[in-house]
Amino acid sequence: MTLPLHLLPSGSLAGRGPGDTVVLDGPEGRHAATVRRTRVGEHLLLTDGAGLRVEGEVVAVGAGTLDLRVLTVDLDPEPSPRLVLVQALAKNDRDDQAVEAATECGVDEVVPWQASRSVVQWRGERGEKARRKWDAVLVAATKQSRRTRRPVLGETATTADLVRRVPSAAATFVLHEDATTPLAGAAVPDEGDVLVVVGPEGGISPEELQALVSAGATAVRLGSTVLRSSSAGPAALAVLSAAARWR
């Protein structure tokens, strides 16, 4: 069985080598010691969210803390190409579900998109609360899927923001039910940002689609069925990963 993984603040594992002692405290330490009831002699994985992977053996357990002796230190390479999910805000927590599954599928950045047909609006304190929730979902899914690189949560984007970003991306694929080009047959770049744009429940408006395509994006379809906003992005990421990274 895969070892449990704990996500630590960036830089907290810098300079650690075999034989060093690392103290796991705070929320991660309490979870390991109190919730999981980790015992002396067990092995855990630690990561800083930037690719560093440390395997340690528990040598002491305290009140909400663990002391681990470092056994191995590895640095996972940065993935290429870099997969970016542009997820339109959706109701009924469907966008949360999309973010969770996308993280498990290896997404490198998630961009919240305030599409014209998004029922949900991120404004003021409500918007900040929603962003914090997405960030918490990213953290939990990173640990659950044993990832050493935590996905970036991008700034909330308007359609105009996306149009400006498309030219600098290696490729941009807009999922659209009326598209004739299958994503499975599209050429996937070996490097650079590959954007996957997913609309809200009401779909991407014709004006938004035209603006993105004019900027260089390609409208694609996944198959003969119409997927929900919660499943379309992860499905597309799986297709792209199979073509470019799972080999």
* Domain CATH for 146: 3.40.1280.10
pTM flag (> 0.75): yes
Contacts of 85 (CB under 8 A, 6+ apart): 98, 99, 102, 107, 109, 110, 111, 196, 198, 233, 237
Rounded mean pLDDT, 226-239: 91
Residue 247 above 80 pLDDT?
no
- Residues 105, 22, single domain; the answer is no
The percent of residues in the chain predicted with pLDDT above 90, rounded, is 74
Q: In this structure, are 14 and 90 located in the same domain?
A: no
Pair 96, 166 in one domain: yes
Q: Which domain holds residue 59?
A: 5-75
User: Domain tally for the chain?
Assistant: 2
Q: What CATH number corresponds to the domain at position 47?
A: 2.40.240.20
Looking at the fold, whether 25 and 128 belong to one and the same domain comes out as no
CB 4, CB 44: distance < 8 Å? yes
* 63 plus 100 within the same structural domain: no
Average pLDDT estimate for 169-196? 94
* Average pLDDT over all residues of the chain: 92
Q: Is 226 exposed, middle or buried (0-12, 13-18, 19+ CB in 10 A)?
A: exposed
**Average confidence (pLDDT) over 118-135:** 90
- Phi, then psi, of 238 in degrees rounded to 5: -65, -40
Above 70 in pLDDT, residue 1? no
Of the candidates 152, 84, 153, 93, which has an alpha carbon nearest to the alpha carbon of residue 120?
93
If asked whether residues 119 and 220 sit together in one domain, one would say yes
